[in-house]
Each structure stands twice: as structure tokens, then as C-alpha cells.
Amino acid sequence: MTDVRHRSRLLTPAVLTGGIVVVGAQAFVLAPLLSDIATGLATGTTEAGRALSAYGIGIVASALLLGHRLDSVAPRTVLLAGMGTLAVAAAGSAVAPHWTVLALAQLVGGAGVGVLLPATYSLAAELAAPGAAARATGRVLTGWSIALVAGVPLATVLGDAVGWRAAFGALAGLCALQMALYALLPAVPSAGSGRAALGAAFRAPGVAPLLAGVLAFMTAFYGVFAFAGVDVRALHGGGATTAGLVALSYGLGFGLAACADRLLDRWGTARLVAPVLALLAVVYLALAVTIGVLPAFLAAASVWGLVNHIGLTVLVSRLAGAGVHLRSAVLALNTAATYGGAAVAGLLAGPLYAAAGFGWLAAAAAGLLASVVPVTVRSGLGR
């Protein structure tokens, strides 16, 4: 077992990060290609956009229905099954003749991601060196930054050059390549012999307050990120390139923060939860007041990415610290809370932006994060 762990610690981080890059590319690929997809399927952007909702629904349903089973299955098996499902979904999306077929394919893809993400985070924590859980988690989370900085522009270029179907075809190929990499992972045994009930995972010490933090964190992120580029284009012009600068600035900040992950283990992630959420609330206020000055806003977006990386690392590593027989179930709840936050943002952010503008949207995100800070403090997680 010791030899397996040693080899796993050398190989696993890069492979798991690669998996997050693929998942991130899938998560971000629809938005920039939405108009092209709607034209190609002879439908409206509203109908094409329902595929985004289907993807999120698949993730939440899969995490909640299957999350309690993950600890009883070998991690490599879960990873292969999840990525294989995503590959089928990407291929189905590439050949979809109608928006309903695209939505069904995205629902299937979401089901794969719903088990893939908790299994990824769980394995990263399981194989982390003693006292290095946050560093291991943060390293894997940089896959989201890579997907945002490299994957989205590449998908856009592919879409312009050879069509949106080719972008999904390329994604299916990436999924197949990632499956081959997963097959190289050592056969680490399952963490438990039984099924951890989601109720028991939810009642584990500290889990409920952390999930509240995740829900607020993700609602704020998805709501503000969805309209940051829109408002920048409206105020400063420049088309999609200007909006892309926001994503680039955020992604660079998110990736740069990985350099601080080892410090999080040294300082202790438990005491950082509340302060980081409070700091993030301040960052959203900075986004609200700098939107009219593009250089200042891009600088604030970089800080946003940096603090978001730290916040996400702290939250996920704390959740991964639940009992070994509950870890995957707890992380499945984390995945459900993550995309539950995306769903809440999808319902509320648009009307708020239309009624009050970006500044008030970002201020509302700040208020939401501030509201969960006392929850983490009272639970003892903020000390």
C-alpha cells in the first residue's frame, strides 16, 4: 500500500488536474458557441440555452442519487465511468440534429460529471501527503483556470474555423485521451465497504455550514461572472475580445493563487474559511465600483480569481477532511451545492441585472457572502 501511495502521489495530481481541465472545457464551451449552436440547429438561443440547464440538472441529480455509493467503488473505476459518460455526451452533442437531443446529451454529460468531480477531489485528498491536503486540492483545482484561460478561447477558435460540432467532437477526443490517462492510475481500493447515506454526510461535523458557504460562493460567482463580460462590452465596447479580457484576468488570478496553496496548510484551513469569505465579499464590492474603469476592473477581476481559488481550495479541502467513509458522499453534496448555486444564479442574476445593473448585482453577491460568514464562525470553522 505504501508503494501504491508513493507512485500515486507522483502520477495522480497531473492526471486529476487534466480531468478537471476536460470537465472545465465542457462546462465553459457552450456559452461562447451558443449563437452558432442556435443557428446550426435552426432554433433560438433560448432553446439552445436550455442545454446549459440540462447539464447542471444532470450534475445535481447524479451527485445526489449516486454520491452515497462512491465510497464503495474504486476511485479509478468511478473516474473512468464518469469520463466515459462525458465522452458519449460530447459525441452526442456533436451530432445532435435538434436542440432537445443536445439537451439530452448535456443531461447525460452532467450525470457523468456529477460523480467525476467528487471522485476527483476525494482521491486528491486521499493520496495527499500528511499535512498537504490544501496544496493537493489547490493543485487539482488549477485545472479550472487552465480550462478558462486556454479551453474557452480554443473552443471559440474551433467554432469559428470549423464549426461548433467540431468543438464538441474535439471535446469527445479529449475525454477519450483522459480515459487513457485514468487507466494509468494505480488501482487504489475503495475507501469503504458500505454506502454512506447523504443524510449522515450532511450531519457530519462542520459539513452543513461549509455547504452553506459553497452555495453562497457559487451563487455569487456564477451570477456575477455571467454578466461581467456583458456589462464590460456595453460600457467599453470592443466586442467579444473585450469581454474575453475579463475571463482571462480572472483565470490568470485563479492560476496564480496556486503558489499560495502550501501556505494554506501551514496556516490551517479551518481558521481561514470565514476570513476568506469576508475578503471575497470585499472583492465583489470592488468589482461593483470599478466597472466603469476598464483597467481597474480587470485588476479587480485578477484579485477576484486569486481569492476565489483560495476560497474554493479552503472549502473543498475542509469538506474532504470529513471521515474517510463519508468523504465521497460529502464531496458529492459539495458538487450538488456548487451547481445548485449555479441554478440559483441563473434564476435570480438576470432579473437583478436587468432591473438594477451590474453594480447592484455585484453588491448583492457581496451581501450574500457576508451573510454566511457568521455561520462559519458560529460553527467553529472560522477560528
Q: What per-residue confidence (pLDDT) applies to 190?
A: 63
> pLDDT tens digits, residue range 105-161?
999 999 999 999 988 988 887 776 666 767 777 788 888 888 877 766 676 666 667
The set of cell numbers assigned to 189 is 481500493
Nearest CA to 136 out of 122, 147, 148, 150 is that of: 122
Q: What per-residue confidence (pLDDT) applies to 305?
A: 92
Boundaries of every domain in the chain: 1-193, 196-383
Task: Place 195 in a pLDDT band, splitting at 50, 70 and 90.
Answer: low
Task: Place 383 in a pLDDT band, splitting at 50, 70 and 90.
Answer: very low
> pLDDT tens digits, residue range 168-178?
998 999 999 99
Residue 172 CA from chain centroid, whole number? 19
Under 8 Å between Cβ of 63 and 336: yes
> pLDDT tens digits, residue range 294-313?
999 999 999 999 999 888 88
Hey, what long-range contacts does 240-248 have (CB within 8 A, 24 or more apart)? 240/32, 240/156, 242/294, 244/152, 244/153, 245/298, 246/297, 246/298, 246/301, 247/148, 247/149, 247/152, 248/149
196-383: CATH number: 1.20.1250.20
CATH 1.20.1250.20 for the 1-193 domain, yes or no: yes
Please give the share of the chain, as a percent, with pLDDT higher than 70.
Answer: 84
Residue 322 has pLDDT above 90, yes or no: no
Residue 330 has pLDDT above 90, yes or no: no
d(CA 98, CA 96): 6
The set of cell numbers assigned to 130 is 500528511
> pLDDT tens digits, residue range 23-45?
988 877 776 677 788 888 888 86
Q: Could you give the C-alpha distances from 364 to 51, 92, 197, 202, in angstroms and in order?
A: 27, 38, 34, 27
Helix H or strand E encompassing 113: helix 99-126
Higher pLDDT, 107 or 375: 107
- Same topology between domain 1-193 and domain 196-383: yes
